[in-house]
Amino acid sequence: MSGASPLNARVPAGPLETKWERHKFEMKLVSPANKRKYTVIVVGTGLAGASAAATLSELGYRVINITYHDSPRRAHSIAAQGGINAAKNYPNDGDSVFRLFYDTIKGGDFRAREANVHRLAEVSVNIIDQCVAQGVPFAREYGGLLANRSFGGAQVSRTFYARGQTGQQLLLGAYQALERQIGRGAVEMHPHTEMLDLLLVDGRARGVVARDLITGHVQSFIGDAVVLATGGYANVFYLSTNARNSNATAIWRAHKRGAAFANPCFTQIHPTCIPVSGDYQSKLTLMSESLRNDGRVWVPARGGDARPPNEIPDAERDYYLERKYPSFGNLAPRDIASRAAKQVCDEGRGVGATGLGVYLDFRDAIQRSGAASIADRYGNLFEMYQRITDEDPYRVPMRIYPAVHYTMGGLWVDYNLMSTIPGLHVIGEANFSDHGANRLGASALMQGLADGYFILPYTIGDYLASSRLSRVDAAGPEVRAIEAEVEQRTQRLLAIKGRRTVDSFHRQLGRVVWEKCGMARTDAGLREALAEIPEIRAEFWANVTVPGVGETLNQALEKAGRVADFLELAELMCLDALHRTESCGGHFREESQTADGEALRDDEHFAYAAAWQYAGDGVAPVLAKEPLAFETVHLSQRSYK
């Protein structure tokens, strides 16, 4: 590792267990009378954004909250199924704050900051208390106590859940708290409003420039600090499990204004999704990982075997997970199961019309315990599968394939969740902080709410109390100039009037990123992608067609702006993946594997967060490294044989 890092993570001194307590005491406070003098702009209304906006407003700050959705109840957090982790140790099975901390660091393949992760584990318990107080209908035992279940990457039951709709219920809890503040007039809510640029004054984030999606009107929102809670960038792949409108524009524009982007190549691929069925496909649907408890994963032993699955005898099937990972079998971790599926499909043994699928077969489980018992366990999932594919998984094996569904990378933030731009705070999936190179199940909801309810509301006060902020003139030349830039960009997109649709470019980009910066990455493949992406981008700006005008609701125009940003972000992802020649977590470099094909970390050279600084269009970004010191956890290689 070279030299001193220009990144100051501002991790408090002292023992790991007391850092947050001590920091909370040492941070400056804003007095109640002064809080109402400060305006905080929160972008996004998912778990992180809604919880932050509601909490800041409860504390007495003036809050302006914008979202591109029509209502703050719709953000993609709502689609999270499984649950939320918390170190409550209600089941008395040995869980603790330290164990949750340890599991998260290890699950992230030792690429997260210890102090942040420990704080996350500490506040996890407060989240559950808070959500219950709000009326989130978590699952209960007959005695009325909260129910828990276990989840991937943990040996304890620490996951709280509300049927298969945990994300929905947690989001509605935060949304209701937010609506209460809106009703009191304490939060100024702007739905149908998309952030298109960040406003800097004297080097500090002082507002955002946004487009009203209904009228096309471009306007600025000025405040004393900005919070981005705008989610991840998995849609750079075109097909992902993310909601269709999820995009990277807010974080990307902030990046171009100076916020470092950390670990963009850390993306997570979930092994059990319903495969792509045709070119029209718009998104991928996740099937719960729990299915692998009873389903057996296989492909035909020889390529090109077109027989229906039930006519292929056992001897001609390859139960490849059981073969390669005898001790974990079908329950091999997400990244490993995903790569193994890709491998057999690359060998030409994939199933289904596209050849990109593997079977998840319940035949043996049904024979063993009966269809009724399987229906009891997975009935709703089987129904969902049948609704989408029109195939009955009780009779025909499911077809599954991996799909992108989360991005661990994001804007670099310090311990206070502030980016490299003073005043710009980044929370939830939009930042890079807590999951390292791989996120554990049920931890995304935990992080979003930890940031929004319990961390940012403290740390932002410290920033405001210790900063001298000048008055910003909303009609002044600095603000007008950025608004004009945003308007020009919109006009430019509308004026191209080329022959290819926005989606066709997005699909083309997605294919390149998926093939070359997806489940397995190579030096050669990444170099090819780095050559292809600028070509796609050049053609986009010369030949895209965006019908309609800018003064009304124009969904093609919205998409065009987002895809234009993905076309830039994708390049940074590939560059990051190319430079990180080790394998870790979701980032698998084929050149860096053990003799038996497992991911091989290189702690000597890569135990750092890679934070990229934008240096201008067409100029190579500058890499800054935040060294990761593991003072509490011992670095070890994961093995699942």
Selected binder of another protein within 66, 172, 430, 599 (CB under 8 A): 172
For the beta carbon of residue 390, count every other beta carbon within 10 angstroms: 8
Structure tokens at 607: 């135990």
Selected binder of another protein within 22, 28, 163, 307 (CB under 8 A): 163
Cα separation, 342 vs 357, in Å, equals 9
Contact between residue 562 and residue 520 where contact means Cβ atoms under 8 Å apart: no
Tell me whether residue 213 or residue 611 sits nearer to another protein (CB atom). 213
CB of 214 to another protein, least distance (A): 6
Encoded one letter per residue, x for contact with another protein by CB under 8 A and - for no contact, window 423-462 reads: ------------------------------xx--x-----
For residues 47, 447, 443, 11, the Cα torsion angle rounded to the nearest 10 degrees is 170
Tell me whether residue 71 or residue 369 sits nearer to another protein (CB atom). 71
Tell me whether residue 424 or residue 560 sits nearer to another protein (CB atom). 560
289-308 positions binding another protein, by CB under 8 A: none
CB under 8 A, 24+ apart: contacts of 179-184: 179/72, 180/54, 181/53, 181/54, 181/57, 181/58, 181/63
73-112 positions binding another protein, by CB under 8 A: 73-76, 78-79, 88, 90
Is 334 labeled as catalytic in the residue annotation?
Answer: yes
CB of 65 to another protein, least distance (A): 12
At residue 538, φ and ψ (nearest 5 deg) are -65, -40
244-263 positions binding another protein, by CB under 8 A: 244-245
Tell me whether residue 8 or residue 555 sits nearer to another protein (CB atom). 555
39-58 positions binding another protein, by CB under 8 A: 51, 54-55, 58
Selected binder of another protein within 15, 32, 144, 313 (CB under 8 A): 144
Size of the site for another protein (CB under 8 A): 80
The three-class DSSP label of residue 51 is helix
Question: Looking at the DSSP assignment, which residues form a beta bridge with residue 505?
Answer: none
Window contacting another protein (CB under 8 A); options: 103-111, 136-144, 260-268, 396-404: 136-144
Tell me whether residue 77 or residue 416 sits nearer to another protein (CB atom). 77
Residue 103 CB contacts under 8 Å (≥ 6 apart), including other chains: 153, 154, 440
Question: Looking at the DSSP assignment, which residues form a beta bridge with residue 63?
Answer: 40, 187
What secondary structure does DSSP assign to 312-337, as a single string?
S-GGGEE-HHHHH-TTTGGG--HHHH
Q: In Å, what is the CA distance from 249 to each residue of 252, 318, 497, 521? A: 5, 43, 22, 25
Window contacting another protein (CB under 8 A); options: 65-73, 293-301, 421-429, 617-625: 65-73
373-412 positions binding another protein, by CB under 8 A: 387-390
Window contacting another protein (CB under 8 A); options: 24-32, 127-135, 199-207, 220-228: 127-135
Q: In Å, what is the CA distance from 491 to each residue of 48, 82, 548, 568, 599? A: 32, 43, 11, 19, 46
Structure tokens at 238: 């075109």
Window contacting another protein (CB under 8 A); options: 67-75, 110-118, 362-370, 585-593: 67-75
473-532 positions binding another protein, by CB under 8 A: 497, 499, 501-504
Selected binder of another protein within 277, 288, 522, 581 (CB under 8 A): 277
Tell me whether residue 150 or residue 277 sits nearer to another protein (CB atom). 277
Window contacting another protein (CB under 8 A); options: 25-33, 68-76, 474-482, 585-593: 68-76
CB of 190 to another protein, least distance (A): 11
**Residue 133 touches another protein, criterion: CB under 8 A:** yes
Cα separation, 147 vs 139, in Å, equals 5
Q: Is the dihedral of CA 378, 404, 239, 556 positive or negative?
A: positive
Window contacting another protein (CB under 8 A); options: 100-108, 277-285, 320-328, 398-406: 277-285
Residue 458 Ramachandran class (φ > 0 left, ψ -120 to 50 alpha, else beta): alpha
Please report which helix (H) or strand (E) contains residue 604, including its range: helix 603-606
The three-class DSSP label of residue 333 is coil
Tell me whether residue 51 or residue 583 sits nearer to another protein (CB atom). 51
Pick the catalytic residue: 73, 158, 211, 334?
334
Contact between residue 428 and residue 447 where contact means Cβ atoms under 8 Å apart: yes
Question: Looking at the DSSP assignment, which residues form a beta bridge with residue 84?
Answer: 160
Structure tokens at 399: 């077809």
CB of 129 to another protein, least distance (A): 4
317-376 positions binding another protein, by CB under 8 A: none
Cα separation, 72 vs 174, in Å, equals 9
CB of 449 to another protein, least distance (A): 10
Tell me whether residue 265 or residue 563 sits nearer to another protein (CB atom). 563
**Residue 278 touches another protein, criterion: CB under 8 A:** yes
**Residue 61 touches another protein, criterion: CB under 8 A:** no
**Residue 137 touches another protein, criterion: CB under 8 A:** yes
Burial of 395 (0-12, 13-18, 19+ CB in 10 A): exposed
Q: In Å, what is the CA distance from 501 to each residue of 249, 544, 553? A: 19, 6, 18
Tell me whether residue 83 or residue 621 sits nearer to another protein (CB atom). 83
Please report which helix (H) or strand (E) contains residue 627, including its range: strand 622-627
CB of 581 to another protein, least distance (A): 37
213-242 positions binding another protein, by CB under 8 A: 214
- Kindly provide the b/e burial profile for residues 191-224, where b requires at least 16 CB atoms within 10 angstroms of the residue's own CB: bbbbbbbbbbbeebbbbbbbbbbeebebbbbbbb
Per the document, the length of the chain is 641
Secondary structure in 3-state letters for 139-197: CECCCCCECCECCCCCCCCCEECCCCCHHHHHHHHHHHHHHHHHHCCCEEEECCEEEEE
Tell me whether residue 330 or residue 459 sits nearer to another protein (CB atom). 459
Parallel, antiparallel or unpaired: strands 424-426 and 225-228:
parallel
Selected binder of another protein within 182, 225, 259, 260 (CB under 8 A): 182
CB of 567 to another protein, least distance (A): 18
Selected binder of another protein within 16, 40, 41, 128 (CB under 8 A): 128
**Residue 212 touches another protein, criterion: CB under 8 A:** no
Selected binder of another protein within 96, 543, 545, 581 (CB under 8 A): 545
Tell me whether residue 140 or residue 527 sits nearer to another protein (CB atom). 140
Cα separation, 123 vs 88, in Å, equals 10
Tell me whether residue 159 or residue 592 sits nearer to another protein (CB atom). 159
Window contacting another protein (CB under 8 A); options: 178-186, 297-305, 317-325, 488-496: 178-186
Q: Which of 56, 213, 173 is nearest to 558 (CA)?
A: 213
552-591 positions binding another protein, by CB under 8 A: 552-553, 555-556
Q: Which residues are catalytic?
A: 334
